Amino acid sequence: MTAELVSPFRLEPSFVTRIWGTVDLRPWYDFVASGDPIGEVWLTGDQCRVAEGPLAGKTLGEVFAGHSRQMLGEAAPAYAHGASPLLMKVIFAKEKLSVQVHPDDRLAQKYGQPRGKTECWYALAAEPGAEVAAGLKPGVTLEAVEAEVSAGTLEQSLEVLPVAAGDMVFVDAGTVHAIWPGSVLLETQQNSDITYRLFDYGRPRELHVAKALEAIRLHTDAGKVAPKVLADRTILVEGAYFEVAKMRVDGVRSGESMAGSNAGAPGLSYLFAAEGSGTIRPRQAGDFAPVALPKCGIVAVPASSPAWEIEDGGGLDVIRIAAHWPESVA
C-alpha cells in the first residue's frame, strides 16, 4: 500500500445496547449479551475498528480523519471530507421501537449537527406478520399528530407496511416511522444518530415532540421500493445519499463489475455479506493482503483502492452500498 492508496479493509462490528433489543444475536452473530439487550449492530460506526491490515486497530472515525480524500474520492464535495458519510447497522427489535422522525440536513444544522438522517431498511429476514410503519396516512395534520401523541393513539395515523425477506423500505428525512418486531433489518443511513421521539410506549425516555413536529413532512417519498433487476445485479434503492444493490458472486467477480452508478468517478463503497462468505483479493499480487468477508461482515472499499476482485467462499450474496452526494447539503 502506498501513501496515495488505501486498500480494502474489514471492520469489526460494534454491539449497541437498546431497551427494545434482544440478548441473543445468534445465528446472525455469535454474540449473547450478558447485560442489557442489544438492539443494533453498528457495522460502520465511527467507533468500529479496522480488523486487520495496515490500519488495524484504528477506528473508522480515525481513518476518515487521516485519509479522507483516499476514502471518499475526488468526486466528493468539500463539505463531505473528514467524516464518514454513511452508517450501516443490523437492527434486532424484540419490542417496538419508538414512533419517531429524523430531521433533514437543514434542520439538523439549525440545531448544531452536521447532517440529518435519510435511511432505508433491507429485510434480511422476516417472520409472518412482520410490519413497519413509514409515513402518515393521507389527510393527517400536524395538529392531529400532536393530539394523538398526547392521547397515546398515534399508531392509528401511521402507514403500516407488511415486511417480507428481501423487501426494501425507503425512509427519507421528515418521515414519521417506526420499526416493530418480527424482522431483521439492514439499515443504511446518513451517518447521524439524531432521533426525535414522538411516542415511546410508556418507556422512561425523553420525548422530543416540539422538534419532531418541526421536522415532520406530511408527504414524503417513504415506502417500499420495487427492485430494479439488471443482468448482473439488483438495484434495491437509489437516492441522493446512497445506492444499495444486491449481487450474487459465483466464482470470482472483478471490482469493476461491482461498481455503482458513479463508476466514472470511483467513490467509497461497502460490501456486506448477506449470505455466504468470500474473500477480497488484489488483482495484482502484493498490492494488499486478502481480506476475509464473513457472513454478516462488512468490508470498506475506499475510492483509492488498488484494483481488486472478490471470490465466492460459498453461496455469497453481497449487498453493495455506495456513497452518493446530493447537489447541496439542503
CA atoms within 13 A on the CB side of 278: 27
3-state SS, residue 164: coil
- The number of C-alpha atoms within 13 Å of 9 and in the hemisphere containing its C-beta is 27
Eight-class DSSP state of 79: G
Q: Which of 171, 163, 39, 25 is nearest to 100 (CA)?
A: 171
Q: Among the options 197, 253, 281, 320, which is catalytic?
A: 197
Whether 197 is catalytic is: yes
> How far, in Å, CA of 8 to CA of 67, rounded?
13
Residues 6+ apart with CB under 8 A from 89: 16, 40, 41, 42, 43, 45, 186, 187, 189
Q: Which of 240, 177, 309, 323 is nearest to 293 (CA)?
A: 309
- Per DSSP, what are the bridge partners of residue 131? 162
Enumerate the active-site residues.
Answer: 197
